[in-house]
A and B are shown apart, each in its own frame.
Chain A
Amino acid sequence: MNNVILVAVISLSAIGATSAVILYFVAQKFKIIEDPRIDEVEDVLPKANCGGCGYAGCRAFAEGIVKSGTLEGFFCPVGGNSVMSQVALIMGLVAEEKEPMIAVLRCNGSRTNAPAKINYDGPATCAFTHNLFSGESGCPHGCLGLGDCVAACTFGALYIDQNTGLPAVIADKCTACGACVKACPRKIFELRNRGKKDRRIFVCCVNEEKGAPAKKNCEVACIGCGKCVKACAYDAITMKNNLAYIDFEKCKLCRKCVEECPTGAIHELNFPPRKVKTTAPEETTGQNTPTEVTA
């Protein structure tokens, strides 16, 4: 009886020992030497796996950087400059400072500005509705307000404003990953720079129709009149397909175009209130203003 146990123990130990030796050599043969910096870079990344950098996830992004050995073309929009400088430290490179970006909704076709002409009660997804028809307001370029962008945002930075029926961006939460830009079937969202003191000027419209049909559907549409192009002293505004576009790299935030725009399609954000010209004749003769002043 003892003999059986002994034989079993010895034979199994022998098999174990030989396998261990074989496995050792196999492991040596097929050893993968991974750059330890990949782990290090991954550690400093935000691990949101949002895909905003253009890679499948943070790990793929880290691998990309370490394998190419350069930071050119690599930028983590979520981590921003601070994370990129840490990555640069690990890699022994210098990170290029990038201006922080933010997603901007370029449509102001709210319930009051672009009132619904019909009532849509089908499935609430923009992708389907965009294929089906031009939208409740009739504007074929404007926001459908059904929230494909909200569903795509992994940072909770978007919500549908119940008063306007349009999505709104929570500036503190937006990481400019670009998920909403991809999700929107009408390409209304754009990543623009945050600007000094969060001040931004942009054309809040993407309608490429001629002036008359654009204005018919929406009070605040860009009608392609070109006044802003003339007003801009820095060549920052271009006109294409009846639609003005402000290049944020050239824009000096002078706000001339905002004053010129006849439909109010150009928006300014986070600027201090303008100095009111007290001597302006329209204001003194206006019927509503005196009551406000006296009250």
Chain B
Amino acid sequence: MLKTFKSGGVHPPENKISADAAIQSLPVPKRVYIMVTQHLGAPSVALVKKGDDVKTGQLIAKSAGFISANVHSPVTGKVFKVDDFIDQSGYRKPAIIIDAEEDTWVDGVDNSDEIIRDITLTKEQIIQRISDMGVVGLGGATFPTHVKMMIPDGKKAEFLIINGVECEPYLTSDHRLMVEKPEEILIGTTILMKALGVSKAMVGIENNKPDAIEKLSHIAKSFKGITVHPLKVKYPQGGEKQLIKALTGREVPSGKLPIETGCVVDNVGTAFAVYEAVQKNKPLIERVVTVTGMAAAKPSNFMVRIGAPVSELIEKAGGIPENLGKVVGGGPMMGKALMSLEAPIVKGSSGILLMPVEESRRVVIKPCIRCARCVSVCPMGLEPYLLAQVAKNEMWERAESERVMDCIECGSCHYTCPSGRPLLDYIRLGKNKVGQIIRSRGKK
């Protein structure tokens, strides 16, 4: 029997309609909008000003603080301005807007397709390089990867887990990357193993991607210590705590990090970015983005420069459909609807989902019938109906003691609720408020 995590989980329709679409390189956009802060942690500081000439791959915003990341220019051209620009939520955040002229890379970047297999750098050099090249977790949380590589004192990493689960319906960016760049991903994995000082790495892939499993298992035979594990299809297996449970049977304690169980989890996209950063000296300036959805004319996977406007991707995938209801950044379970199509692609964008009108409407909210389906599907063992209610009633202390901060916002409760109650929305509100309260407590 295939492995999976035990408690909770749902199985929404997979709808991987773009699974067979090979990754196409999107032409370099004419104007890119690069958010200065695209990662989790301290905001970066812009290094360029209006009128500056920049080259592709040049450092344009520097990390500020321990948990922070560098940002590089994805194009060659002139800085149009350094100003606030709307992000995917519609709020204006500091951004660097560059008019692209051509595509000349900075010196020292290997831009060929040749695969470099020998790892020459030492452990410290690898971590430094990952940090310099602005690599962050590409699974969606955008946690700076170099910070993950630095194991805190007293802890020891045993396993590296590579997350190729891609449990969100519709999204296929990781899937296509595994099919098209399997060797690069495994070299990246080996580099990460070296940086962590571990001898074992496990690649977890859900069973609905047989071609990726076959390719990676085949190539993994020539890599030492890397094993590929097919997993039963169940959402949210791509959550790092769920994946650790599925592969090792270990459970991350409440409020703790995965390193407590001796595991470090990285996405396949991150492993690829690490390969490019370490072996090819290439900063993270592009990523694979799936443009899909029942309303999309041509569901596709694109290799996109960071900072390209979302509208440009939709244009390339067949344009804006007539029956478009919502454009969601990310997958249908965890993604958020976009406020504006002018918003740019950031390091954490994994997909753009075009939903037709009839699919995008919320259902009528009915009273809770106490069926406890949300409790049974919660992968974190929480009581979503209760958390939503206490958040609605502004009982923040109760929300904290009911472990609202453990919620991974997977949306399984919201998906399964027969009364269509907006459970996750209220839990997010609770998490936000309780998070603020906890942080203010730390300051006193």
> Interface on B for A, CB 8 Å cutoff?
84, 86, 89-92, 336-337, 339-340, 361-362, 392, 422, 425-426, 428-429, 432-433
Interfacial chain B residues near A209, Cβ < 8 Å: 84, 92
Interfacial chain A residues near B361, Cβ < 8 Å: 121
Interfacial chain B residues near A118, Cβ < 8 Å: 337, 339
- Indicate if the CB atoms of B432 and A140 lie closer than 8 Å: no
- Indicate if the CB atoms of B339 and A133 lie closer than 8 Å: yes
> Interface on A for B, CB 8 Å cutoff?
117-118, 121-123, 125, 127-128, 131-135, 138, 140, 209, 213
Report which of A122, A131, A138 forms a contact with B432, defined as CB distance below 8 A: A131
Q: A118-B339, A121-B361 are in contact. Are A133 and B425 (CB under 8 A)?
A: no
- Indicate if the CB atoms of B429 and A131 lie closer than 8 Å: yes
19 A-B pairs with C-beta separation under 8 A: A118-B339, A122-B362, A122-B425, A123-B422, A125-B392, A125-B429, A127-B429, A128-B425, A128-B426, A128-B428, A131-B429, A131-B432, A132-B89, A133-B89, A133-B336, A134-B86, A134-B90, A134-B91, A209-B84
Interfacial chain A residues near B362, Cβ < 8 Å: 121-122
Task: Quote the shortest CB–CB distance from B396 to chain A (angstroms).
Answer: 11
Interfacial chain A residues near B426, Cβ < 8 Å: 123, 128
Interfacial chain A residues near B340, Cβ < 8 Å: 117, 138
Bound complex: CA A138 to CA B337 (Å): 14
> From DSSP, what is the main secondary structure of chain A's interface residues?
loop
Interfacial chain B residues near A122, Cβ < 8 Å: 362, 422, 425
Bound complex: CA A4 to CA B36 (Å): 94
Interfacial chain A residues near B433, Cβ < 8 Å: 127
Bound complex: CA A138 to CA B92 (Å): 10
Interfacial chain B residues near A123, Cβ < 8 Å: 422, 425-426
Task: Quote the shortest CB–CB distance from B207 to chain A (angstroms).
Answer: 34
Task: Quote the shortest CB–CB distance from A166 to chain B (angstroms).
Answer: 19
Can you add 9 more A-B contacts, CB < 8 Å, to A121-B361, A122-B422, A133-B89? Answer: A122-B362, A122-B425, A123-B425, A125-B429, A128-B429, A132-B428, A133-B336, A134-B86, A134-B91
> From DSSP, what is the main secondary structure of chain B's interface residues?
mixed
5 A-B pairs with the lowest CB-CB distances in the bound complex, closest first: A134-B90, A128-B429, A133-B89, A133-B90, A123-B425
- Indicate if the CB atoms of B90 and A135 lie closer than 8 Å: yes
Nearest B residue to A138 via CB reads B90
Bound complex: CA A117 to CA B340 (Å): 9
Q: A132-B336, A209-B84 are in contact. Are A140 and B429 (CB under 8 A)?
A: no
Interfacial chain A residues near B339, Cβ < 8 Å: 117-118, 133-134, 138
Task: Quote the shortest CB–CB distance from A119 to chain B (angstroms).
Answer: 9
Nearest A residue to B85 via CB reads A213
Nearest B residue to A134 via CB reads B90
Interfacial chain B residues near A132, Cβ < 8 Å: 89, 336, 428
Bound complex: CA A128 to CA B426 (Å): 7
Residue among B336, B340, B429, B433 with the most chain A CB within 10 A? B429
Interfacial chain A residues near B86, Cβ < 8 Å: 134, 138
Nearest B residue to A209 via CB reads B92
Task: Quote the shortest CB–CB distance from A241 to chain B (angstroms).
Answer: 12
Q: A118-B339, A134-B339 are in contact. Are A140 and B428 (CB under 8 A)?
A: no
Bound complex: CA A140 to CA B84 (Å): 12
Nearest A residue to B388 via CB reads A123
Bound complex: CA A117 to CA B327 (Å): 13
Bound complex: CA A140 to CA B90 (Å): 7
Bound complex: CA A138 to CA B339 (Å): 8
Bound complex: CA A117 to CA B426 (Å): 24
Interfacial chain A residues near B337, Cβ < 8 Å: 118, 133
Nearest A residue to B421 via CB reads A123
Bound complex: CA A121 to CA B89 (Å): 15
Interfacial chain A residues near B92, Cβ < 8 Å: 140, 209, 213
Interfacial chain A residues near B422, Cβ < 8 Å: 122-123
Interfacial chain B residues near A128, Cβ < 8 Å: 425-426, 428-429
Interfacial chain B residues near A127, Cβ < 8 Å: 429, 433
- Indicate if the CB atoms of A131 and B428 lie closer than 8 Å: yes
Interfacial chain B residues near A133, Cβ < 8 Å: 89-91, 336-337, 339
Bound complex: CA A128 to CA B427 (Å): 10
Residue among B336, B339, B362, B425 with the most chain A CB within 10 A? B339
